[in-house]
Amino acid sequence: MSRGGGKGLSLKDKLDGNELDLSLCDLNEVPVRELAALPKATVLDLSCNNLISLPSDFCSLMHLVKLDLSKNRLQQLPLDFGRLINLQHLDLLNNRLVTLPVSFAQLKNLKWLDLKDNPLDPVLAKVAGDCLDEKQCKQAAVKVLQHMKAIQSEQDRQRQQKLQAEREMEKKREAEQRAKEAQERELRKREKAEEKERRRREYDAQKAAKQEMEKKTKKETVHTRKPASSSRPPQRPRHKLSWSRSVLRVLLFVLFCILCTLAACKLTELQHQPLCVSVNTLYEDVVAALQNHKTLQNMLQHNSK
């Protein structure tokens, strides 16, 4: 194993029972793959090296029970450091740690912890306290675990609150979306009703205009027929018609009397009376005159032909 890369010397040469001592090897990185091949090495000493950080796959070394990382230059631990659930003893003396990952709360088997000589956050430094003897280091492990569990619970609570807020926000957005869709449906329904009402008004207006046109056409037809009816001869007044009928009745009566007289003078014994002689003579003269008139008419027709 070389001083810079951790290769060249077999780790088995460093293994003593279940303890693997890699301290004072001037390591810049941890040979995780080689360490994973030695599950019997439950005690690992990486103190007094030049480690600035630990790779994320370092947390796969779940067989570790005791880990010494003191006197390095570690600025932070991997976020999933809590995967080392079998870890009981952890020495982080004299590094550059300010905080610990929240997953640190999962190290439920941790019994011993040393965080001295790190630029810790004041709250964390107060919780950890000193580690000057076995008792203080054990108390530091208990208190730090409790503190990190409280932080984890608070973060979980905040995460739950955030998720709850996101769910409520999502519900609110869904409710707003539903309200918007309902409003759009109502708007479309109202627009449809308005369009229907507009078409109905147009239909009524067209129907009224058509009726008005028919009425106007009918009125013009009536006005056109009136002058023709006015050309007819005016009817005679009712009183004039009654007078004409009276005259006609008188004439008929006179004619009837004449005919009766003529019949009496021709057919009865009165024909020898002077009055009847005069009537018969007048009748014969009239008949002769009519015959002469008929003869003259026939002659005229014949000449014209």
CATH number of the domain residue 138 falls in: 3.80.10.10
Mean pLDDT of 10-25: 89
Please provide the DSSP assignment of 98-135 as one string: ----GGGGG-TT--EEE-TTS---HHHHHHH---SSHH
Question: Residue 67's pLDDT band (boundaries 50, 70, 90)?
Answer: very high
- Residue 184 located in a structural domain: no
Whether residue 5 is predicted with pLDDT greater than 50 in this model: the reply is: no
Q: Can you give the length of the chain in residues?
A: 305
Whose CA is closest to 48, among 75, 26, 79?
26
Please give the mean pLDDT across all residues of the chain.
Answer: 85
Q: What's the pLDDT score for residue 215?
A: 85
- Residue 123 located in a structural domain: yes
- Residue 201 located in a structural domain: no
- Residue 81 located in a structural domain: yes
Within the chain, how many helices (H) and strands (E) appear?
Answer: 5, 6
| pLDDT tens sequence across 108-161 | 999 999 999 999 999 999 999 999 999 999 999 999 999 999 999 998 999 899
Q: What's the pLDDT score for residue 7?
A: 46
- Residue 138 located in a structural domain: yes
| pLDDT tens sequence across 161-206 | 999 999 998 999 999 999 999 999 999 999 999 999 999 899 999 8
Largest interatomic CA distance in the chain? 200
- Residue 194 located in a structural domain: no
Question: Residue 6's pLDDT band (boundaries 50, 70, 90)?
Answer: very low
Locate 266 and state its tokens: 């021709």
Of 88, 120, 155, which residue constitutes the final position of a domain? 155
Host domain of residue 136: 13-155
The residue that leads in pLDDT, 190 or 258, is 190
Whether residue 300 is predicted with pLDDT greater than 80 in this model: the reply is: no
Identify whether residues 20 and 146 lie together within a single domain: yes
CB 271, CB 280: distance < 8 Å: yes
In whole angstroms, what is the distance from residue 137 CA to residue 303 CA? 175
Locate 9 and state its tokens: 């010397």
Locate 89 and state its tokens: 């003893």
- Residue 22 located in a structural domain: yes
Q: What's the pLDDT score for residue 210?
A: 87
Whether residue 48 is predicted with pLDDT greater than 60 in this model: the reply is: yes
Identify whether residues 130 and 26 lie together within a single domain: yes
Locate 173 and state its tokens: 């957005």
Give all strands of the β-sheet with 15-16 in edge-to-edge order: 15-16, 19-21, 43-45, 66-68, 89-91, 112-114
Percent of the chain residues past pLDDT 90, beyond the cut:
55
Of 155, 189, 220, which residue constitutes the final position of a domain? 155
In whole angstroms, what is the distance from residue 142 CA to residue 201 CA? 86
Q: Alpha carbon 163 to chain centroid distance?
A: 28
Of 136, 155, 174, which residue constitutes the final position of a domain? 155
In whole angstroms, what is the distance from residue 143 CA to residue 149 CA? 10
Whether residue 213 is predicted with pLDDT greater than 50 in this model: the reply is: yes
Report the number of distinct structural domains present in the chain: 2
Identify whether residues 17 and 146 lie together within a single domain: yes
Strand 66-68 versus strand 89-91 pairing type: parallel
Q: Return all residues near 106 (Cβ < 8 A) that are at least 6 apart.
A: 82, 83, 85
In whole angstroms, what is the distance from residue 249 CA to residue 254 CA? 9
